[in-house]
Amino acid sequence: MMDWEKVFATRASRMKASEIRELLKLLEQPDIISFAGGIPDVNLFPKAEVAEAYAEVLSGAQGDAALQYSVSEGYKPLRDWIVGEMSRIGITCKAENVFITSGSQQLLDYLGKLFLSKNDTALVTWPTYMGALGAFNAYEPNYDKLIPLSNREPQTYIDQASEKGGQVKFAYCVPEFHNPTGVTMTRAEREWLLDLAEKIDIPVIEDAAYQSLRYEGESVPPILALDLARNGNDIEKTRTFYCGTFSKTLAPGLRIGWVVANSDVVRKLVLIKQAADLHSSTINQMVIGKVAERLYDEQIAKIRKTYGHRRKKMLEAMDRHMPAGVDWTRPEGGMFVWVTLPEGMDGASLLAQSLKSERVAFVPGKAFFADGSGANTIRLSFSCATDTMIEDGIARLGRLIAAQKKA
Ligand code: PMP
């Protein structure tokens, strides 16, 4: 028998199966009410329009090119469309600032590859998107805690990183409808982050996966827009990477995301892509481009209406069914409600019990914390839940938590 551990690189020791991936299997069991997967509702996918776009691309003048290798930067008409879209949210850029990736997940990997040497430090919120931790972990970094508006001395980030044998390389955040907390960073928090990044001279990774999924409240300018405002609207002087994706709006299966940043670093990322997978799927970029041009706004309006309704239903059900001692966030958009259980209650044990007696699934919060803390938290997703699932599922969960409190 081959001794695999002996031949694995040291980075492999940090590669662990995600609890979410395992849980997604449960979605296939019909009697489970799942608030686990943070995925879009398949009923909202623009299937007919995607089918039509594939047919058009293949039978049209671009048919051959669609199936051919293409440039690593991405399909130019799609990059041009993104430039226009970005200008609507206060981000002025050119096509040379836009780079297409296979979902924003690939970009997180590339940013890790570009910036993190072993033992360098990444600043992340506590909790943070576990997929980002997974992507960065391959580069063997340390993590330090980003607490917006905290008055921690900037120099302490540098000192702590150098004690651990590296440098602070970037701050990563999900400013809109955070995964897993659902919380949105205020403008003051974004400015604070840019101040910190300027003081310690690091880039900011703005993961905007949920940016267009707002159901109520006022939108806040993207961090890149604020960075541009500080730099005379010259993107070449900015330090922020705006990471976008079509996964939450059109379809994650097409695997198309993008980054907007200064062109020097974009060129570097393009080199990484050349070495990694040459380019994102040519035909999928063309199809996304066509579909986006035709129905992006309409599609977003549809999603907002559906998820906005489910968010409201979930919050109402939480108000009705959660016992005292449980706290939760009230997100203005996105897909998630983040729950803090009574002190000492463990999210993972609660899940095991819930699957057994209540048939309700959710994600224990611990995996979202870089230091493995947060055992008494759970993430609930409302994106795929019907009204009845929400009412029944939250009632059952509330009952279980109340019973565990007494036990
Ligand atoms: N960032 C965040 C915050 C996410 O929640 C996700 C998907 N769960 C991603 C990035 C990755 O999305 P994709 O690769 O499909 O664009």
Residue 324 alpha carbon to ligand 1 centre in Å: 33
Q: Is 129 in the pocket of ligand 1 (CB under 6 A)?
A: yes
Q: Is 105 in the pocket of ligand 1 (CB under 6 A)?
A: yes
Q: What is the pLDDT of residue 14?
A: 84
Q: What is the pLDDT of residue 125?
A: 97
Residue with tokens 């399909």: 75
Q: Is 62 in the pocket of ligand 1 (CB under 6 A)?
A: no
Residue 90 alpha carbon to ligand 1 centre in Å: 22
Question: Ligand 1 pocket check: which of 39, 172, 207 to mutate, most ligand atoms within 8 Å of Cβ?
Answer: 207
Q: Is 223 in the pocket of ligand 1 (CB under 6 A)?
A: no
Q: Whose CA is nearest to atom 5 of ligand 1?
A: 179
Looking at the CA of residue 246, tell me the nearest atom of ligand 1: 16
* pLDDT tens for the chain, residues 1 to 407: 999 999 999 999 888 776 556 665 766 778 899 999 889 999 999 999 999 999 999 999 999 999 999 999 999 999 999 999 999 999 999 999 999 999 999 999 999 999 999 999 999 999 999 999 999 999 999 999 999 999 999 999 999 999 999 999 999 999 999 999 999 999 999 999 999 999 999 999 999 999 999 999 999 999 999 999 999 999 999 999 999 999 999 999 999 999 999 999 999 999 999 999 999 999 999 999 999 999 999 999 999 999 999 999 999 999 999 999 999 999 999 999 999 999 999 999 999 899 989 999 999 999 999 998 999 999 999 999 999 999 999 999 999 999 998 77
Q: Is 247 in the pocket of ligand 1 (CB under 6 A)?
A: yes
Looking at the CA of residue 256, tell me the nearest atom of ligand 1: 16
Q: Is 252 in the pocket of ligand 1 (CB under 6 A)?
A: yes
Q: Is 257 in the pocket of ligand 1 (CB under 6 A)?
A: yes
Q: Is 209 in the pocket of ligand 1 (CB under 6 A)?
A: yes
- Is residue 128 classed as helix, strand or coil in its secondary structure? coil
Kindly report, residue by residue over 308-349, the tens digit of the pLDDT.
999 999 999 999 999 999 999 999 999 999 999 999 999 999
Residue 104 alpha carbon to ligand 1 centre in Å: 6
Residue 138 alpha carbon to ligand 1 centre in Å: 17
Kindly report, residue by residue over 157-170, the tens digit of the pLDDT.
999 999 999 999 99
